[in-house]
Structure 1
Amino acid sequence: MRTSTVRRAGTALAVTALMSAAACSGPGQGGGSRPDERAAGGAVDTASVTALQQVREKTGTARSARIEGTAEVGDSVALKQSGTIDWADGLTGSLTITYTGGTMGEALKRTGGDGSVRVRYLRDEYYAAMGDAFASELGGRSWIRYGLRDLAALGGAAGDVLKDQMHNSTPEQGVRALLASGDVEKVGREDVRGVSATHYSGTVDVAKLTARDSALNAEQLAAFKKQLAAAGVTTQTVDIWVDRDDLLVKKTERGRTAAGDFDTTVFYSDYGTEVSVEKPAASDTVDFRDVLKQQGGAAGAS
């Protein structure tokens, strides 16, 4: 296997594993919303706002759930994922991510695997295993460790925002995004995998997100908005479905970036499920920083 391919695959995995975690939670770090303040034009759907505040509280305190979903970003990524996550103290959980298409998925498949990756999220780090063929390029070790602090340092201020986003990832973030948007409506009742659910929809206008509506400080928010602007994101549509217990059962997000259109769907079930995540043995782990150093030193090798 080409050493450059190993490096590209490891980098692609870092990006898409973070994307996968973010897709579980919703966009940004929306803080306390001000539903009575809406952009000019149109009346606030106060009944929907009141209902969503209850959903945010119930979903946010549920602490854990089983998830299943898909994500696509232009020609770069197409994946599906399933597993369990816990957000009682930062994001922890175990997911199986299968890359079904896109250039990043192809980069991973060139390592000799089938496109499936096991990921374990812990509070300040996450681990990924890409199969035997990739492990053979890592001295027989199965897992790559990615430290969120290291990735934040590589990404500068925008990376710091990403680290904070990982620490605060919860399914309620999609609800918060709708509340912060000032543009939300109740669509009606629909069936979601056999569960009767209420459908809410709204549009998040990135240009109207302000520090007073965010848990980010001014510097982080500025970096986050700069990152969104660089990706070409201006607005995105968020849809959520809520069951009779005021718990989120489905969320979709759609929009456009410089890399192309994105479309994510996540289903939630089994709230309160036990989530046990073990750190892989040190003897079976290599740090991504070391992979970068090794592959950088072998950049001219084939």
Structure 2
Amino acid sequence: MRRLAPALALGTAALIGVAGCAAGQGTASLGNVRLAAAEAVQASAQKAEEVTSYTADLVFDATGGQERSGKIQGRMVYQSKPQLATDITLDVISFGGQNVPGGARVILLGDTVYAKSELLSRFTGTGKPWTKVSTADLEAGERAGAEEALAQARQFDLPGTVKLLTASKDVKAVGTETVGGVETTHYSGTFPVAEAVQALAPQERERLQKDLSQAKNVKFDLWADAQNLPRKVTLSGSEDGASFTMAAHLTGFNEPVTITAPPADQVGGLPEGAGAPPAGTGRD
């Protein structure tokens, strides 16, 4: 389970990392209303509170030597009602010189994760394309890693990530651009991580501080439409020779989505008393 829990966390971490921030100079025209840049980002954070579903195309790149370099690229469908659910397809997963062959797909429904990957299928040996993992099925020592992954997924929501932007002291409007066929206003600025996370709930604050621990200040770009909805967000930062960039294109706000468990005959479980996969299974 030592490698399995991080594999599940990896899928959710790509989503958790999607964030943005605000406060500063410049004005932007949104409909017939002209807002200061800081006010516009605050309005975007408030509007995000009304979003219950969306789709995001995600890209995360990291550099800093072989051990700290990698890339995650994929797509996520998210809903918060009637229950929290996400459907994540990761086409590219590569870190520290290791790749997940064929990528992965992860579906989260409540306290249960369904994961599909060639690596995981080889590890379980069930002959099933999907593996079901529920915290209730794990031993105490294994449960911590899986619960951490689930907690990360639960903590990620659009309002929480956009709240980070409101800590910026230098945000400004830099122009208008079309994103995915929608006219948007482009805002750019930076935010100090230590201050930005104070706007979040305690558990989420601790996680973000850990995820962004190598960057004291993060640069962001936000593209918001006439309804203040964030259509695109990018983050970048560097510290101690390592750097990262993250980007999310957001669509389908509040549109109906269907996220369901895979067919039962395609789902297997973890082997009884499963430990770490055999050496070498984490590499191509």
TM-score > 0.5, shorter chain as reference: yes
Letter of the structure 2 residue corresponding to residue 141 of structure 1: K
Letter of the structure 1 residue corresponding to residue 38 of structure 2: V
Aligned-residue identity in percent: 21
1:214 aligned to which of 197, 200, 218: 200
Q: Give the strand-richer structure, 1 or 2.
A: 2
CA contact (8 A) 1:60 1:170 kept: no
Unaligned ranges ≥5, structure 2: 28-34
Letter of the structure 2 residue corresponding to residue 294 of structure 1: A
- State the alpha-carbon separation in 1 of the partners of residues 127 and 10 from structure 2: 23
2:91 aligned to which of 72, 75, 98: 98
1:243 aligned to which of 211, 225, 231: 225
2:70 aligned to which of 59, 64, 77: 77
* Structure 2 counterparts to residues 129-140 of structure 1, below 5 A: 129-131=116-118, 134-138=120-124, 139-140=126-127
Partner SS state of residue 236, structure 1: strand
Note the C-alpha offset of 1:147: 4.6
Letter of the structure 2 residue corresponding to residue 153 of structure 1: A
Question: What is the match of residue 180 of structure 2?
Answer: 193
Question: What is the match of residue 48 of structure 1?
Answer: 37
Note the C-alpha offset of 1:258: 6.7
Question: What is the match of residue 32 of structure 2?
Answer: none
Letter of the structure 2 residue corresponding to residue 55 of structure 1: S
2:16 aligned to which of 7, 17, 22: 22
Question: What is the match of residue 39 of structure 1?
Answer: none
1:295 aligned to which of 263, 271, 275: 275
Note the C-alpha offset of 1:174: 3.6
CA contact (8 A) 1:232 1:257 kept: yes
Q: Could you say what the CA RMSD is over the residues aligned between the two structures, in angstroms?
A: 3.8
Question: What is the match of residue 54 of structure 2?
Answer: 65
Note the C-alpha offset of 1:81: 0.8
Note the C-alpha offset of 1:178: 1.0
Question: What is the match of residue 30 of structure 2?
Answer: none
- State the alpha-carbon separation in 2 of the partners of residues 259 and 91 from structure 1: 37
- State the alpha-carbon separation in 2 of the partners of residues 145 and 261 from structure 1: 34
- State the alpha-carbon separation in 2 of the partners of residues 258 and 90 from structure 1: 40
Letter of the structure 2 residue corresponding to residue 263 of structure 1: T
The alignment status of 1:123 with 2:105, answered yes or no, reads no
**Mean Cα displacement is larger for which, 15-24 or 142-151?**
142-151
**Mean Cα displacement is larger for which, 197-206 or 116-125?**
116-125
TM-score in terms of structure 2 length: 0.74
